[in-house]
Amino acid sequence: MKTIKKSYCALSFIAAILVAAVVLFSPGAARSVYATDIGDDVLSDEASGETDEPLDARDDINNGLLSVTVNNEDGSVSAPIRALLVLTVIAVAPSLLIMLTSYTRVIVVLHFVRTAIGTQTSPPNQVMAGLALFLTFFIMWPTFQEINEQAIQPMDNGDISVEQAIEAAQLPLRDFMYGETMEKDLQLFMEIDGQEYPDDMTLEDYYEVPFTTVVPAFIISELRYAFEMGFLIYIPFIVIDMIVASVLMSMGMMMLPPTTISLPFKILLFILADGWNLLIGSLVRTFQ
User: How confident is the model at residue 96, as a pLDDT?
Assistant: 76
Per-residue pLDDT averaged across 46-72, rounded? Answer: 47
Lowest mean pLDDT among 27-41, 207-221, 256-270: 27-41
**Mean pLDDT score of the chain, rounded to an integer?**
75
> Which pLDDT score, from 0 to 100, does residue 17 have?
59
Q: At residue 112, does pLDDT exceed 60?
A: yes
Q: pLDDT band for position 135 (50/70/90)?
A: very high
Place 212 in a pLDDT band, splitting at 50, 70 and 90: confident
pLDDT tens digit string along 142-180? 988 988 888 888 877 878 877 788 888 888 888 888 888
Give pLDDT, residue 18: 54
How many Å apart are CA 216 and CA 189, to the nearest integer?
A: 8
pLDDT at 280: 92
What are the φ/ψ torsions at residue 175 (nearest 5 degrees)?
-65, -40
pLDDT at residue number 182: 87
pTM of the model: 0.66
64, 56 Cβ separation under 8 angstroms: no
Cα→Cα distances 285→105, 138, 147, 278, Å: 12, 12, 22, 11
- Mean pLDDT on 125-132: 90
DSSP string, 211-273: HHHHHHHHHHHHHHHHHHHHHHHHHHHHHHHHHHHHHHHHTT-TTS-HHHHHHHHHHHHHHHT
Give per-residue pLDDT as tens, 183-198. Answer: 888 888 888 888 777 7
State the pLDDT at residue 23.
45
54 or 259, higher pLDDT: 259
Among residues of the chain, what percentage have pLDDT more than 70?
A: 70
Answer whether residue 78 shows pLDDT above 70: no
pLDDT tens string 245-261? 888 888 877 777 777 88
pLDDT of residue 250: 83
